Every structure is written in C-alpha cells, then in structure tokens.
Amino acid sequence: TIAWSNPVPVAMTVIEHERQLVLILRSNPPLADYWAPPAGYVETGESVPEAAIREAREECGLDIMLNELTGVYSQADVDVLIVAYRAHSCGGRLVAGDDASEVRLFGRGHLPAQAVPADGSATDRWLHEVILDVTAPWHGTA
C-alpha cells in the first residue's frame, strides 16, 4: 500500500476594499492572533479560484472579484501549498466570520507590525513570511 503525503492546497486573497487592505485576525493555528489575508483550504469539487472567493466571504463577509494570481508558495517542511490572488470587493458587508476573531481595514503604509513567531512551528514561520510577501505592496506609502 502506498500512503501519499501531499501538501494541501490553500487559497489566499489580498483584498482591496474602499481603497484599503482587508486583514483578518486569525483565531486558529497556524498563526493564531496574527493579522493575515483571508485564506482557507480548497474543498473537493471546487477550483482554487472558487475557494478563494468562498473563503473571503466566510472570513470577512465580502463578495470579491479576483484580479490576478500573485504567487504560489510552498516549502518542503510545510504540509500546505498556498495559491495567492489579488482581489477587490464587489459587495457584501465587512464582518468577521468563520476563522476570524476580527476583521479590519488597513491603509497603505499602516499595516500592523507583527513579530516573527520565534516559538512557532515551521508552518507558523513560513506563513509569516508568505503574509509579508503578499502584503508587501501595502507596506509602502505609494
């Protein structure tokens, strides 16, 4: 018998709403109590873009349109593969839901400072790097 151990696909969306960035405060590991873009597992029977749209609705209450694929992230010692999109809101109401304890808008250059999770797992440290990368355009004041 062969037992496959493949990374699980996760869809992430970097959403612009009212000219600001939508971030959720994660309530569950990995990176519980860190601000992050909405993200979640791709379910059987849906595409990665469909999962990105569903997860955005579940975690922040917004309907979104995907703008572009911004990156695919993987690391050998982490059991997920993240597919990240840039998106904009097109409806819904901003409200924390599902795996989010809070949802908030952040202006360009005003993202929360978040320390590298020194005591965290390899997944925590890697996800922290992914979040920094996908939100990089929002760190400046341009």
Q: Give SS3 for 21.
A: strand
Separation between Cα atoms, residue 79 and residue 77, nearest integer Å:
7
- 18, 43, 102, 129: which is the annotated catalytic residue? 102
129 catalytic per annotation: no
Question: Taking a C-beta distance cutoff of 8 angstroms, is the pair 24, 60 a contact?
Answer: yes
Separation between Cα atoms, residue 127 and residue 138, nearest integer Å:
17
Q: Which residues are catalytic?
A: 102
